[in-house]
Structure 1
Amino acid sequence: MTTAAIDSPDFLPFRLDLVGRRVLWLRLDEAQRREAAFLDDRAVPPNAEGGWAPLESLLSRVSDEPAPAHAIFHIGHCGSTLLSRLIDTWPEVQGLREPLPLRTLADAWPMLDEAISRLSPDEAENTLRALWARWSRALPPHARSVVKATSSCNGLIAPLLSQQPRMRAVLIDMPLRPYLATLLKSPNSVFDAASAAGERLRYLHQHGVATHLSLHQIPVHRQCALGWLAEQMRFDALDKGRHGERVIRVDFESLLDEPARELHRVAAHFELDPARVDEAVASPAWGRYSKAQSHGYGREDRAHDLALSMQSFGADIADAEAWVASIAAT
């Protein structure tokens, strides 16, 4: 990779290799960024242009952006991709969905104080700052980026809010029962939740909750519920914490029931023109599967699927709800 290419906003830091201490830079145009539900291997275009460069190629280019990217964080499978696509309705916004280096850094973050960490705490902070600065450089005609993180990246919310005093974040989730029904009807969704359960159990232990439990003792449907509980605690703490004025909570069920009201809240929080809310409410994204826009999937389809899931997995859902209630009670 040439210095000129790395300095061009056309190129994104696309993959972070902590073993090799290098960054893969990839050119993605405005349409490719808009269409991608995941900025990972699924977004790599044919004849992709880019290449690997040392980690220093990222760290040496840290700068304060005039408009740092805002963020959407979530608990997983709760409408965050739909919300991101609705925000794309505003012409000044460039949506970046689930950039892979953020996931890599989030996986490394809990081990920064351990001997096995490949980054020092200062290097990790500088890497996070450099990535966010680069993702904040929106391609014309856009003026600002909104990054939708992967659900496993929630441990980075507090560090980002501390680093980026002008960044604002939306935290989206849903009540436990529809969340469990959403996960349990899809083996891939269960796998995602179970993969994140270790970090979420660590979070609970750090806050004095469920300290008697080990992950191997917890059946997978309860691991899904455990993750929901941990993220409720995390989001509550962020909402009530020292950066709480830069955070808002959004309930996906409320977004579905009162889209105009909730989108007005989000637009105000992200300092977007409220006049475009009606356009977002009328967006065709409501009738498509957000992660694969070619597939039709509307609110009625979701309601039908959840009803079937609650019938098929009713016993597991009831057990997980009671289990979470017993933990909360203690």
Structure 2
Amino acid sequence: MNASPIDAPDFLPFRLDLVGQRVLWLRLDAAQREAAAFLDERALPPGPEGGWLPLSAWLRGAPTMPARPAHAIAHIGHCGSTLLSRVLDTWPDVHALREPLPLRSLADAWPTRGQADARVSAADAERLLQASWAAWSRPLPPAQRSMVKLTSSCNGLLEPLLDAFPGMRVVLLDMPLRPWLATLAKSPDSMLDAAHAAPERLRLLQARGVGEDLALHAMTLPEQCAMGWLAERLRFQALAESHPTRALRVDFEALLARPGEVLAEVAAHLALDAEGLPAALASRHWGRYSKAQDHGYTREDRAHDLALALQRHGADIAEGERWLDGMRRRHGVALD
């Protein structure tokens, strides 16, 4: 790669290597970005164009703060965020990016930034986060604004992002515990995925003065999942209270039940033209499996799958619900 990609919107920071102190930049066109459910190895085109750039060069030459920073979709995982992202991408001026890999690397490094065993200083971690978000805030023409869907493990970066980019807004997507546990239960990989996030979520609960008596090794898998749900609900509740005009809570069940009403609220929050609402509501994405667009998957299909999961995995789901009820009784946890 002969020229620096830092100022070229068609290049994206694609992979962050904190051990090697470098970042991989790749050229991805609009069609490749639109097709990608995840901006990681699964999105690599044949013969990708790009190359590695030292982090020091990126931080020295990082662009200034964008006039219109990317908005964000944050979520608890397995709750329709890919669908919402694809539907919002139907607005002609929106350029959507889904789960860029460097954001996950930064989220992993964030809790220990600046410590003696960390790969990045606290100051450089903040600069990397801001430089990454600035790069993702550059839409490809004719789009005029960017929308980034975070990986659920990156929710700890929401507060520093909101602090760094005053013009940024975020949609906080989740769902009630029972359908969420049923969604996880019908796919063992999904339940394990939620359990992998449990340590950070337990630390979040304990930082909020809840769950000092909890230990992951003493909790069943359904209990760990319910604990993660509680932690994220409390995180989203706090963000909505501290940023009432910039953070919007959205229930995925409500979005499916009342798509016109809820999507209109989301569009207004993100300052999207209301004239784009009919096309968004008519989008083919409502009837497709969002992570694999070749497969049909309607609201009726989802309802059938959840009913089957409740029947087959009712004991595990009830176990998670009992755990939450116990937390409410012991700790007086209040959820809106």
**Above 0.5 in TM-score?**
yes
CA distance in 1, matches of 2:237, 2:5: 42
How far off is 1:8 after superposition?
A: 1.5
- TM normalised by structure 1 equals 0.98
Q: C-alpha offsets along residues 56-90 of structure 1, whole Å, 9 cap, x if unaligned?
A: 23212131212110000000000000000000110
Map of 1:174 onto structure 2 = 175
Which secondary structure state, in structure 2, belongs to the residue aligned with residue 244 of structure 1?
coil
Map of 1:156 onto structure 2 = 157
Map of 2:109 onto structure 1 = 108
Q: C-alpha offsets along residues 277-316 of structure 1, whole Å, 9 cap, x if unaligned?
A: 1111111001100001011111011000000000111111
1:187 and 2:188 are equivalent in the alignment: yes
Map of 1:236 onto structure 2 = 237
How far off is 1:3 after superposition?
A: 3.4
CA distance in 1, matches of 2:253, 2:49: 41
The answer (yes or no) to whether the contact 2:7–2:63 under 8 Å persists in 1 is: no
CA distance in 2, matches of 1:285, 1:107: 31
Map of 1:274 onto structure 2 = 274
Structure 2 unaligned segments of length 5 or more: list them: 332-336
How far off is 1:4 after superposition?
A: 3.8
Map of 1:17 onto structure 2 = 17
Letter in 1 for 2:38: F
Identity, % of aligned pairs? 61
Alignment of 1:19-38 (within 5 A): 19-38=19-38
Which secondary structure state, in structure 1, belongs to the residue aligned with residue 37 of structure 2?
coil
Letter in 2 for 1:8: A
Which secondary structure state, in structure 2, belongs to the residue aligned with residue 7 of structure 1?
coil
Letter in 1 for 2:234: M
The answer (yes or no) to whether the contact 1:6–1:57 under 8 Å persists in 2 is: no
Letter in 2 for 1:66: A
Map of 1:137 onto structure 2 = 138
Letter in 2 for 1:316: D
CA distance in 1, matches of 2:206, 2:63: 35
Map of 1:293 onto structure 2 = 293
User: Following TM superposition, where does structure 1 have runs of at least 4 consecutive aligned residues deviating by more than 4 angstroms?
Assistant: none
Structure 1 residues 123 and 5, CA gap change in structure 2 (3 angstroms): closer
Map of 2:66 onto structure 1 = 65
Which secondary structure state, in structure 2, belongs to the residue aligned with residue 67 of structure 1?
coil
Q: C-alpha offsets along residues 167-206 of structure 1, whole Å, 9 cap, x if unaligned?
A: 0000000000000000011011112101101100010111
CA distance in 2, matches of 1:91, 1:153: 27
Give me the CA root mean square deviation.
Answer: 1.0
The answer (yes or no) to whether the contact 2:185–2:313 under 8 Å persists in 1 is: yes
Letter in 1 for 2:90: T
Alignment of 1:107-126 (within 5 A): 107-126=108-127
CA distance in 1, matches of 2:101, 2:313: 32
CA distance in 1, matches of 2:250, 2:277: 16
Letter in 2 for 1:191: L
How far off is 1:2 after superposition?
A: 3.0
How far off is 1:244 after superposition?
A: 2.5
Letter in 2 for 1:90: W
How far off is 1:322 after superposition?
A: 1.1
Q: C-alpha offsets along residues 138-186 of structure 1, whole Å, 9 cap, x if unaligned?
A: 1111111000000000000111000000000000000000000000110
The answer (yes or no) to whether the contact 1:58–1:131 under 8 Å persists in 2 is: no
The answer (yes or no) to whether the contact 2:12–2:28 under 8 Å persists in 1 is: yes
Structure 1 residues 5 and 130, CA gap change in structure 2 (3 angstroms): closer
Map of 1:200 onto structure 2 = 201
- TM normalised by structure 2 equals 0.96
CA distance in 1, matches of 2:262, 2:320: 29
Give aligned pairs, total: 329
Q: C-alpha offsets along residues 241-268 of structure 1, whole Å, 9 cap, x if unaligned?
A: 1x22100000000000000101111110
CA distance in 1, matches of 2:72, 2:91: 15
Structure 1 unaligned segments of length 5 or more: list them: none
How far off is 1:113 after superposition?
A: 4.7
Map of 1:250 onto structure 2 = 250
Letter in 2 for 1:280: A
The answer (yes or no) to whether the contact 1:98–1:150 under 8 Å persists in 2 is: yes
Which secondary structure state, in structure 2, belongs to the residue aligned with residue 64 of structure 1?
coil
Letter in 1 for 2:167: R
CA distance in 2, matches of 1:49, 1:58: 18
Map of 1:51 onto structure 2 = 51
Map of 1:91 onto structure 2 = 92
CA distance in 2, matches of 1:16, 1:268: 34
Map of 2:265 onto structure 1 = 265
The answer (yes or no) to whether the contact 1:9–1:138 under 8 Å persists in 2 is: yes
Deviates more, 1:222-231 or 1:108-117: 108-117
Deviates more, 1:221-230 or 1:104-113: 104-113
CA distance in 1, matches of 2:222, 2:52: 40
